[in-house]
Amino acid sequence: MKIFSLIFCLSFLSILNANVLQDAIDKAPAGSILRLPAGVYEGKITIDKPLSIIGREKGVIIDGLNEGTVITTKGSFITLKNLTIINSGDRNDKVDAAIKMTEGKQCEISNCVIKDCLFGIDFQMVSNSIVSNNSITSKDLPLGLRGDGLRIWYSNDNIIRKNSLIKSRDMVVWYSNGNLIEDNFGEHNRYSLHFMHAGKNIVKNNHYAYNSVGIFFMYSKDTIATGNIIKSSLGATGMGIGLKDVSNFTLKDNTIIYCAQGIYIDRSPFEPDTHNWMINNKILYNSEALHFHSVSENNVLKSNVIQGNIEDIVNDSRGSKTNDNEIVGNYWDNYSGFDRDGDNVGDTPHRVYQYADQLWVYNPDVKFFYGSPVISLLNFLAKLAPFTKPLFLLEDAKPIVRFEG
């Protein structure tokens, strides 16, 4: 492979009044490596052949001058590494981005810092590629007007690893299959990770905090989410993990803590004769641990720890079938039974009912009084001497009595 070096001074650039980086790209043979010394380079560059641009040292800055997309690539075997990319345009309709990479395979974007760019990395129809160790922030705009930090669209079998997205809008994975999304960090975004029409993805060991939603899966199937930590999803409807119309999902060994809703389940599993598995998750100190919306049955909930939540179960749909799920062997800190034989399994099932304190579920106006002495008194009286029949929600036939961890 040929190595094509760029060394020039800024005065030479100003004299020529030309984009010397683009000129070097155009003149470089396919397969070349452009190793850039520290300096500020003009952006709005285009790459349409196998080529690598690598920062030779710290301080390699590519400046989009607040217009359009800073780097646009099309094709395979393109690498961008060790670069700082700044100042894209601000037009959402044109998806102004730091990097737009399209129609390629075996590409790489790694060790880049992206700042003051509306969208971060826009991946379209790119496969078998790597996006790793990048730090991405959007422009200083209201949350809904920022661009997505990382957009994966019709792109399969990629590795998305150890990227940091802070104060962008979303990371989205749409119409994309077989991707590994691992060890990423998201903070102060809207959706830290949003899937739609995506399958056979692995979501592993990511850490998301202070976002509106941690991970939301929509119209998808055949995906595993394991080892993720989702903390402090903000707002009245802040959500740790959401499942909408998804099938054959596995949520395992995740920790969801300090969210408005821990796991939100909406019409899932969606496809007939399929299941979703929620195993060994820790759902801790949320306003609602499990929120069921619409008919959601055939979920399997086993060996989860449900502790410190204000509400363990919320069912906001009168006709849904909350108990038509396999719920067994979970730890519930609200369990009031005994374990006389010492096998760490409750002697009686753990049953969850909806009493007066959940009147707010069907009448949002009542939620103003949530946690008030009036509602607490009504709830106490309803349990002590029921004046109406409480609504049965679900039963765990073999609740775990002691949890150590």
358 domain residue, yes or no? no
Distance, CA of 122 to CA of 109 (rounded, Å):
11
In a domain, 283, yes or no: no
pLDDT at residue 371, as a whole number: 56
Per-residue pLDDT of the chain (405 residues; tens, 9 = 90+): 444 444 444 334 433 457 999 999 999 999 999 999 999 999 999 999 999 999 999 999 999 999 999 999 999 999 999 999 999 999 999 999 999 999 999 999 999 999 999 999 999 999 999 999 999 999 999 999 999 999 999 999 999 999 999 999 999 999 999 999 999 999 999 999 999 999 999 999 999 999 999 999 999 999 999 999 999 998 877 999 999 999 999 999 999 999 999 999 999 999 999 999 999 999 999 989 999 988 888 999 999 999 999 889 988 876 667 888 999 999 999 999 999 999 999 999 999 887 654 554 545 555 555 556 655 655 555 555 555 667 788 899 999 998 876
Residue 309 lies in a domain: no
Q: Is 101 among the domain residues? A: yes
* Token couple for 153: 């669209």
**Structural domains in the chain (count):** 1
Q: Which of 235, 237, 192, 231 is nearest to 215 (CA)?
A: 192
> Which residues 6+ apart lie within 8 Å of 251 measured at CB?
225, 226, 241, 263, 276, 277, 278, 279, 281
Q: In this predicted structure, what is the pLDDT of residue 318?
A: 67
In a domain, 268, yes or no: no
In a domain, residue 306? The reply is no
What's this model's pTM, rounded to 2 decimal places?
0.88
369, part of any domain: no
pLDDT value of residue 377? 58
Q: How high is the pLDDT of residue 5?
A: 44
Give the domain CATH number at 92: 2.160.20.10
Instruction: Look at residue 8 in the predicted model and tell me its pLDDT.
Output: 40
Structural domain boundaries enclosing 21: 1-140
Residue 354's pLDDT is 74
**For residue 275, is it within any domain?**
no
